[in-house]
Structure 1
Amino acid sequence: MKMHAGQLTVSPTTVRELVDEQFPEWRGLPVEPVVAEGTVHAIFRVGARYAARFPLEPKDIGSVRRSLQSEVDAARELVGRTRFATPEPVALGEPGAGYPLPWSVQTWLPGIPATVEDPGGSVAFAHDLAEFVLGVRAIDTRGRTFGGGGRGGDLRSHDSWMRTCLRNSEPFLDVPPLRRLWDIMRDLPRATPHDVMCHGDLIPGNVLVSGGRLTGVIDVGGLGPADPALDLVGAWHLLEDGPRQAFRTALGCGDLEWERGRAWAFEQAMGLVWYYAESNPVMSELGRRTLARITADTSWT
């Protein structure tokens, strides 16, 4: 089942043709689809070293090309800045073989996503995650500030989206207490006016693990300056109570920053449950689990 209206179909045959035409040096490499819970790209292995990523939602070519170039720049900025593996950009492809958009190739990272091997009970993983967040924050913003798209700016700018989510969640969730919770969260002020660099999407599908430890982080194209609380979403998307507190302690979060991190996680989770209820059950269940963690302790309110 498709996740988005007008979602593009990308077949192995199409990918094979695109690779052979545009990157003839890879003609001898096998092309294999990757089964994943991602919602933005169809992903294919190209040999052992590369991953080809194809945007799923139809948009104009120019905006997709700019977005892919922004992802390339972000990936380059992050490579080597922490001890954890992150993808390296390799190439950009052009439309062809019936696929209408530009596409990208990056290095393939081996590892098990946290959707398969749940690290939520591991304090060691919580410390790893905090180390990654601190490493990202240490990257110089070079005077850049939040660009205004998506999460990471003003919580209240998401009011319209949250009204949509709350309305569409009525068949799936007990909405009235969630609506009251958002009414509180939306007014939380920033702990600091200064943006820092953030990954922006620390959910289980973007985290690679082994033996309860963090080994790599993928989907790094959203790296950029934002509210320092944004990457705290991983505390609720990824961690149980004890490790969550270890994560907070390692980052030295004050109450206000921690609460805003919870609010960003809430905003993201509210969009997952209903939107992916049928098309991507793993993502829908992630939203439910995150909301359960967020609402289990409302003493901060």
Structure 2
Amino acid sequence: MIMHDDQVDVTPEMVAALVHEQFPQWSGKAIRLLPSTGTVNAIFRIGHDLSARFPLRVADAAGALAVLEQEARASAELAGVSRFPVPVPVALGKPGAGYPMPWSVQTWLPGTVAFDADPSGSDAFAEDLAAFIAALRAAETRGRLFSGEGRGGVLTDHDEWMAECFEESKGLLDVPRLRQAWRHFRELPRTGADVMSHGDLIPGNVLVEGGRLKGVLDTGGFGPADPALDLVSAWHLLQPGPREVLRRALGCGDVEWERGKAWAFQQAMGVVWYYVQSNPSMSNMGRRTLDRILQSME
């Protein structure tokens, strides 16, 4: 599935060659591409207990390596505070066999992503999700602050991106109503200092079993951010009843709750139009999130 103009084509044969050259201890293991709604990496299974992640977009190799090293440190740190299973970093690979960038290997985490096992009506899942977020919030920031990149800092920093999203969404969404919502969201004041956050709690990054939280994926973004950032999960993952369970469990005040809604709105506005052709599951997730947000504002 081609999602980006600069996307790299990664094949099982290419991955097998890289594994054989760089990690011969795994060269006898089966290699297979995993179907995924993810937009950042192509993911391959290596045998039964490992997965390899290959960045899809072309980037400077040295810069990409620095990102992967930081993600590995963040993933290991999150694993130390979460009582729910998360992937653990194992190794970093180098460019080769036609693939131009470094890549990563981590432990394989079994389970079903929330795209395929919708937990949105489960109070127990909401309680698990709150416990996960609370554990991250309780971790020490060690003086670190939000990096300034992506979501989790100042809402008004995203005005230019939102303007582009509104333009691109004409004919897809009720843009005048959505512009009005953003005018409200962008004025919401910050309510607290940075806390440690996952940063991307969407259905594709959450594993579910029996209506409970089974594990959490894509943990390389663990870092300090707006305390409201991980509240995007309330809108991406939950129906109104369980959403209130999450809010009560975390003790969210009105402004913090609204800022969580704002970050979910910002994310959803981007994925609807950008992935409408190339990744319909992501685009539909964005639509559903926007519907939930607008319904809550009626």
TM-score norm. by structure 2 comes to 0.99
Tell me the equivalent position of 1:227.
226
Tell me the equivalent position of 1:164.
164
Per-residue deviation, residues 138-182 of structure 1 (Å, max 9, x unmatched): 110000000100000000000000000010001210100100110
CA distance in 1, matches of 2:227, 2:27: 44
Alignment partner of 1:221: what SS?
Answer: helix
Q: How does 1:208-219 map to 2 (within 5 A)?
A: 208-219=207-218
Q: How does 1:14-93 map to 2 (within 5 A)?
A: 14-93=14-93
Match status 1:257 vs 2:260: no
Please report how far the alpha carbon of residue 238 of structure 1 lies from its aligned counterpart in structure 2 after TM superposition. 0.1
Q: How does 1:48-197 map to 2 (within 5 A)?
A: 48-192=48-192, 194-197=193-196
Per-residue deviation, residues 247-280 of structure 1 (Å, max 9, x unmatched): 0000000001000000000000000100000000
CA distance in 2, matches of 1:187, 1:51: 42
Alignment partner of 2:54: what SS?
Answer: strand
CA distance in 2, matches of 1:227, 1:110: 30
Per-residue deviation, residues 190-217 of structure 1 (Å, max 9, x unmatched): 112x100000000000000000000100
Paired residues, what number?
298
Unmatched runs of 5 consecutive residues or more in structure 1: none
Alignment partner of 1:215: what SS?
Answer: strand
> Match of 1:238, as an amino acid?
L
CA distance in 1, matches of 2:177, 2:49: 47
Tell me the equivalent position of 1:246.
245
What is the CA RMSD across the aligned residues, in angstroms? 0.6
Please report how far the alpha carbon of residue 134 of structure 1 lies from its aligned counterpart in structure 2 after TM superposition. 0.3
CA distance in 2, matches of 1:59, 1:83: 34
CA distance in 1, matches of 2:36, 2:171: 26
Alignment partner of 1:271: what SS?
Answer: helix
Tell me the equivalent position of 2:267.
268
CA distance in 1, matches of 2:171, 2:88: 42
> Match of 1:292, as an amino acid?
D
Alignment partner of 2:207: what SS?
Answer: strand
Alignment partner of 1:45: what SS?
Answer: strand
Please report how far the alpha carbon of residue 221 of structure 1 lies from its aligned counterpart in structure 2 after TM superposition. 0.6
> Match of 2:107, as an amino acid?
T
Please report how far the alpha carbon of residue 80 of structure 1 lies from its aligned counterpart in structure 2 after TM superposition. 3.4
Identity across the alignment (%):
60
Tell me the equivalent position of 1:205.
204
Match status 1:285 vs 2:268: no
TM-score norm. by structure 1 comes to 0.98
Please report how far the alpha carbon of residue 27 of structure 1 lies from its aligned counterpart in structure 2 after TM superposition. 1.1
Moved >6 Å (runs of 4+): none
Tell me the equivalent position of 1:4.
4
